[in-house]
Structures are given as C-alpha cells and as structure tokens.
Structure 1
C-alpha cells in the first residue's frame, strides 16, 4: 500500500537554519548600549538580530559594538551589522564599532563598509581590538540622515557593480576544486584577506585565468592554502578531489 501522505513532512528538516556560533553581551550605560560580540559572525548569527534590536530599543542614542572577540566574519555577519545600522537610522540613532578583530577589519575594508560605522563621537576607528576606544564625554551630534543614506547608497552601488564578477569567481573555484558554494566563498575571503587584495580584484584575476592569463604567484599560494584548509575542516578524505593540485596556472 502507498505510504500515507503525511510521511513527506519529514522533508521540512531540510529547512533548518545554521547554528548560531556567536554570542553578545549588552550593557546599557547612560544614553548608549555597549555590546560585546564573540564567536563567528556568519549566516547563523542572524539568530541574534531580534536580541540586537531589543538592545537598540533600550538605548537612547544607539549602540557601540566591541567586535574584538569575533574570530570569523563573512557576508552573513556583515549583513547583520548593516541591518542593525539601518534600524538605528530609522530610529534616529547610531551604531558604531569601537573595537574589532583582524578578520572583521579586513572584511570592512574589502567591502568599503568601514566608514558606515564611524561617527564624530566614535574616535579613532583604527584602535586595536584589545584596547577599546575611550567613551567620549561630549554630547552626541545630530545625525545627518540624508548624508548617511547617500553614503550607504554609494556603497551598495559599488557592491552591485562588483558582485557579478565575484559570483563568477566563486563558480570558478567550485568547478576547479570541487567545493560547495559556501566553501568556495570561504576560500575567496581567506585568499583576499591573506593577500590584502580587494575581493573584486581577486575575482578579476581568477576570471583572467580561465582565458589563459597568469595568476600572481602570491594569489596562487594563498588559494592553495585556503583550499587545503577548507578540505581539512570538511574532513572528507574519501573525496577524490582532495588530491587535486590547488594551483591556477
């Protein structure tokens, strides 16, 4: 006899969201909330959105973030920060980054999003993660919302121009090394950070390799190292692709 139709409901387990590997600690001091973030800010960190919004609601003027304990941050984590910033703007508040790890700093630089989290009151954004910036005793200045929105639009337009090349490059990495879309993105981000190369420039190098153009030796080495690390993390020794030479000639 045919199986009952309700047995197909087990497929809904495929919709499970990634685990959240990040935590936050919030303290509302005066008019602002100090939020310390730790762990990995990837797509799973989206689970923290409602908690961050609640902290923002409890503050009078906004949130100051300490990202020094964030060991990994990708586009999923960046989107979480941008969403928090947009919500703050809608409430007439600000979100600043007072300290950050090397991984976060690199991503903010590569995406051009660094200045979005700086205000006149946030001081020197280049301070090391271990030494958070001193609180300013001055009163917060009025927010120029129009200027903030124009800046964000400019950043988004630049991202839209470069994203197609980055997507193509990710496809190249997937096809060349037999990686998943997520692992290919990790390889690109890692190679970009370790070579201090903007993501869209790295993508252009990889696209040129398809047409026979040489890839810089430094990029080849970092791509090879990133691929090896991803495969080691995946722990799939039976994968035939694990023996493929990670070099783009």
Structure 2
C-alpha cells in the first residue's frame, strides 16, 4: 500500500492569518484563526521570517480558536528549523486551544522563553561546584549534576522524536475524520469515535484505516468487512434522527 504521506496530494486552504512585528533581534508573530492541516501553507513565510530575525521568533497565539496536531506539527517544524539556524521559537502567549494541546502533548516547555542572561551566579543561587560543601554540610554541585542535566536532555529529545513520528500520520487521520463529518453530519468527537471503533473492530491500525478512507475520495473502495463495521459504528454513535447518519452511503 502507498505511504500515508502520499495519499494526500493537496493541502486544504489555510484558515489562519498572521502579523509580523520586529522586536530587537527577534520577530514577534501574532496569529489569528485556525491552525490545522492547511496551516502548513504558513511555513514558507515563517521560514523567511525566521531567516530575517537575529535570534528567532516569538509567537502570540491568543487569537487562535482551533489547533490540532497538524497545527502543532507546524510549530515543531518551525522550531526544528530554528535549531538548525541556532535560533529559538517561543510561545509568548496562547489561548485555550493551543495551550491545551501543548499541555496534552507535553511540548509546552519546548517553546518556553529562555531565562534572562546573567554574567554569573547570584547569592540566591547557592553554592556552585567550585564553592565546596555548604555550611550545613550538604553535597556540592558537580559532575553528577551535569550528567543528570544531560540525561534529562537526551530523554526530552527522545520524547520529541517519538512525538514527531506519531504526528506524521495525524494529517491523514484528520482528513478521514473530516470525510466522516461531511458524509454523515457527525460532530468532530463522534467522527473520531467512529474511526476508533472501526479500527478496533476490524483490527486495523488507525492511520491505515484513515489512509484507506481518504483513498475513497479518489475512487478507492473499502473492504466489505470494513464497510460493515464503519456503518455499524456510525449507526451506534450518531443520533438516529437524520438519514445521513443511519449508516447508509458508506464510502
């Protein structure tokens, strides 16, 4: 079967707009609208803005009313480009939609602003590795602390890599959910439930099911057992008051 990335040949229209304001050696980018699969169309402009900046981009996402994993993937792509250029991308502010997704995926700290630069430790910092033991006889900071920091960094990088791999399939899943919403008049939550239930009942990986469902738009067909389980899932999940949701007309 073809790779999911090649199942979709067109990116939907972008439902977001942005405004750019220089701020010293950084660029402040304010975004309005929705960050979904179509927001990938913003990446070329964001890459140009990043290149023009001295140290990176500060994002203000308060006015973003919707953000899914495709939108988050755009932010992660931008951050990866920034790392390649020795720059940073921070989320200075965000609304509920973006903030909830950052918290659920554990990626908020990836876009946190770095702390203020200081020339050296202050009195509040406590003893350094060179200071020796504290007055209370506590352990001094040294190589063990550095190793712990490096271990945390490696773990964080591993988590980000796993997250990015998982999110590569999300655009196709989001498209499949949209097809179910349009075909049967389902809400986003019910369309998601139909996908998950059909995946479980047919022992099919979710992203494989989504890929095959998206393929029906280009003339493909679902196997008969999958059609039956999909129809059953629609019938049991959606309200029974509408003909569009009675399980008929399965792609």
So what's the TM-score if we normalise by structure 1?
A: 0.53
Structure 2 residue corresponding to 1:71, chosen from 65, 73, 82:
65
- The answer to whether the 8 Å contact 1:116/1:152 transfers is no
Does 1:21 pair with 2:26?
Answer: no
2:189 to 169, 180, 187: 187
Asked whether 1:56 is paired with 2:50, we answer yes
Whether the aligned pair in 2 keeps the contact of 1:89 and 1:145 (CA below 8 Å) is: no
CA separation of 1:158 and 1:113: change in aligned 2, threshold 3 A:
same
> Is the 1:22–1:45 Cα contact (8 Å) retained in structure 2?
yes
Query: What is the CA–CA distance in structure 1 between the aligned matches of 2:54 and 2:190, rounded to whole Å?
Result: 39
Q: Residue 41 of structure 1 contacts residue 73 of structure 1 at CA under 8 Å; is this kept in 2?
A: yes
The answer on 1:113 being equivalent to 2:107 is yes
3-state SS of 1:239 partner: helix
5+ residue gaps, structure 2, are 1-7, 120-148, 202-236
The 8 Å contact of residues 112 and 155 in structure 1, kept in 2 or not, is answered as: no
2:160 alignment partner, SS class: helix
Q: What count of residue pairs does the alignment treat as equivalent?
A: 171
User: Which residues in structure 2 correspond to 1:33-52 (within 5 Å)?
Assistant: 33-52=27-46
Q: Secondary structure at the match of 2:80?
A: helix
Q: Does the 8 Å contact 2:181/2:187 carry over to 1?
A: no
d(CA) in 2 for partners of 1:242, 1:91? 51
1:152 aligns with 2:142: no
Structure 2 distance, partners of 1:53, 1:140, is 30
Which residue of the partner structure matches residue 93 of structure 1?
87
Distance 1:82 1:145, change over 3 A: farther
What are the ranges of 5 or more consecutive residues in structure 1 without an aligned counterpart? 1-13, 122-137, 192-202, 211-226, 232-236, 244-249
Residue 17 (structure 1) shift:
2.6
Q: TM-score, normalised by structure 2?
A: 0.53
Q: 1:68–1:100: 8 Å Cα contact kept in structure 2?
A: yes
Quote the residue 1:11 is aligned against. none
